[in-house]
A = this chain, B = another copy of it.
Amino acid sequence: VTRSFRSNEEIYPGGDSARDWVFVVSGAARTCHYLSDGRRRILDFLLPGNCFGFGGHDIRHFAVEAILEPTVVCTFPRALVERAGADHRAMRESIHAMALESLTRAQSRIITLGRVTAPEKLLAFLVELSQRSIREDRTLVSLPMSRYDIADYLAISVETVSRAFATLKRCGLVHLTDSHHVHLAALSGVKPSEDESRSSAHEFALSMND
């Protein structure tokens, strides 16, 4: 089943009815968890090619919401996917690969959240987006999500996100053509190896005390 969604529309309600797989075709989406006091945590951003649906029993607690307009997704009943996985080897391996990718991203995010300062977190986030991007030029990153989404993703406040952007600009690490298009100067001349860029980004971030 293929459907299209508008901005901020709910693709997938968190709750017991959560029994489908979601595969993002185009646009972008966010995976949210709402705490009892109304605060929101964003677990992951789903870009074209990403999917959501494993995670065992706990997926009930997460809602999926569209970011861009339009966002096109395919949904499959869980039972169908699992049956296909049992029958076809290629399907099974594909599912396994996507699950591993989700796990890898989650682990990478734990590292990011563990970083100390807000500019560090933001820079790590931008680098992550750059690596997930399909663009050829990895120094140009487009941000489909709002500052509020970034804030809930990095577990910091909106104002801090804005200030962190200002800090990175002041240090010459990034340039913003507009609010949603970033040029990562930090990556220019740096090998695309993940650890390289991270540590160098980190080195830069360390020297950001005004």
- Pairwise interchain contact A113-B113, C-beta atoms closer than 8 A: yes
A33 touches B (CB below 8 Å): yes
Of B57, B96, B101, B109, the contact of A110 (CB 8 Å cutoff) = B109
Size bin of chain A's contact surface: 35 or more
Of B35, B103, B113, the contact of A155 (CB 8 Å cutoff) = B113
A36 touches B (CB below 8 Å): yes
Of B33, B54, B111, the contact of A33 (CB 8 Å cutoff) = B111
Contact with B along A47-84 (1 / 0, CB 8 A): 00000001111100110000000000000000000000
**Could you say which residues of chain B place their CB within 8 Å of the CB of A61?**
195
Q: Which of A5-13, A17-25, A161-169, A198-206 contacts B (4 or more CB under 8 A)?
A: A198-206
Of B62, B103, B109, B202, the contact of A99 (CB 8 Å cutoff) = B103
Of B35, B106, B198, B199, the contact of A106 (CB 8 Å cutoff) = B106
Interchain CA distance A99-B36 in the complex, whole Å: 28
6 interchain pairs, CB-CB under 8 A: A41-B110, A41-B111, A43-B110, A55-B107, A99-B100, A114-B155
**Could you say which residues of chain B place their CB within 8 Å of the CB of A58?**
104, 107-108
**A55/B206 contact (C-beta < 8 A), A41-B110, A110-B43, A114-B155 known:** no
Contact with B along A134-167 (1 / 0, CB 8 A): 0000000000000000001001000000000000
**Could you say which residues of chain B place their CB within 8 Å of the CB of A115?**
155
Interface residues of A in 162-189 (CB under 8 A from B): none
